[in-house]
């Protein structure tokens, strides 16, 4: 979905750090490389003598920024959600190279494909009732887990909803823990939920609302989401949908997924 860093120097630095991390963790990397947004992360399948097939994810940051929510999210999620279906975290290794700090996360390899190759769902899905039961259970567990982490702040909501959704901002009365980046590219066919670095407190129903908003181009699946995740059909769910719509409309204003702009504005109109 994304591409390597914009300079060959940055790309080579990441590859050198990955090689050093692989040696430290006792693994062999295999298969194609998967770069994250603007080359800030690098993922690749790996083999460990004890754990077998694994996934090695490398993130980087200047030393002054190598902390906080996104940096520690995967490790904190491993401790916070032991019963939720997600890849097991085997090891974390930090190293410094070329003026940056790198964190290597070695996790269980999940062979099950994601339900979508990108966050926007463009093709209808036919998911079994048991799939939805598992997802609901996991979402309920996530929401009920106490955390000091924050995924969405009231200050941002108060600013972004009027600016991008063009309606008054709600004051959030009901907060719950959310995965924070909940779309079908982060959920597999089993289902297993991937990419936990951004979890934290958000408006109640935020994950369900994000899954729905990213699925507006597949209306049959979007209708199924509303049926299977009933939080969306409550006042709290409507508020979460409004917040997510503002979030994605902000992304549209920056040139990301412009095809969602009209459906998102129609969603806002239906809510207000």
Radius of gyration, CA atoms only, the chain: 19
- Chain centroid to CA 219: how far? 22
Q: Compute the distance between CA of residue 93 and CA of residue 105 in angstroms, rounded to an integer.
A: 7
Q: At what angle do helices 235-253 and 261-271 cross, to 10 degrees?
A: 150
Q: Compute the distance between CA of residue 249 and CA of residue 267 in angstroms, rounded to an integer.
A: 11
- Residue in the structure block whose two tokens are 């990955």: 18
Q: Compute the distance between CA of residue 39 and CA of residue 10 in angstroms, rounded to an integer.
A: 9
Tens place of pLDDT per residue across the chain (272 aa): 567 888 888 899 999 999 999 999 999 999 899 998 777 889 999 999 999 999 999 998 887 777 777 789 999 999 999 999 999 999 999 998 877 899 999 999 999 999 999 999 999 999 999 999 999 999 999 999 999 999 999 999 999 999 999 999 999 999 999 999 999 999 999 999 999 999 999 999 999 999 999 999 999 999 999 999 999 999 999 999 999 999 999 999 998 889 999 999 999 999 98
HSE (CB half, 13 Å, CA atoms) of 144?
8
Q: Compute the distance between CA of residue 70 and CA of residue 67 in angstroms, rounded to an integer.
A: 8
- Span 32-63, pLDDT tens digits: 999 987 778 899 999 999 999 999 999 988 87
Q: Compute the distance between CA of residue 113 and CA of residue 63 in angstroms, rounded to an integer.
A: 34
**Full-model pTM:** 0.92
Per the omega criterion (within 30 degrees of 0), is the bond before 131 cis?
no
């Amino acid at each position: 979905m994304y591409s390597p860093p914009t300079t060959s120097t940055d790309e080579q630095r990441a590859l050198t750090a990955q090689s050093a991390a692989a040696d430290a963790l006792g693994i062999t990397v295999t298969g194609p490389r998967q770069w994250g947004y603007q080359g800030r992360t690098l993922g690749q399948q790996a083999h460990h003598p004890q754990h077998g097939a694994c996934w090695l994810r490398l993130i980087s940051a200047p030393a002054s920024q190598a902390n906080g929510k996104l940096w520690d999210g995967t490790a904190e999620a491993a401790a916070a959600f032991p019963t939720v279906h997600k890849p097991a975290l085997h090891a974390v290794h930090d190293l410094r190279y070329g003026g940056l700090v790198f964190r290597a996360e070695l996790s269980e390899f999940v062979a099950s494909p994601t339900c979508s190759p990108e966050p926007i769902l463009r093709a209808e899905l036919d998911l079994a009732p048991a799939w939805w039961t598992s997802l609901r259970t996991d979402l309920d567990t996530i929401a009920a887990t106490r955390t000091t982490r924050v995924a969405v702040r009231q200050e941002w909501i108060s600013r972004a909803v009027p600016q991008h959704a063009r309606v008054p901002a709600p004051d959030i009365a009901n907060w719950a823990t959310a995965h924070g980046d909940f779309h079908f590219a982060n959920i597999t066919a089993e289902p297993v939920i991937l990419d936990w670095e951004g979890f934290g407190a958000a408006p109640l129903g935020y994950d369900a609302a994000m899954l729905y908003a990213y699925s507006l181009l597949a209306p049959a699946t979007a209708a199924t989401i509303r049926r299977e995740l009933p939080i969306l059909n409550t006042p709290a769910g409507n508020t979460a949908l409004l917040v997510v719509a503002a979030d994605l409309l902000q992304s549209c204003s920056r040139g990301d997924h412009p095809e969602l702009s009209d459906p998102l504005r129609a969603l806002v109109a239906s809510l207000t």
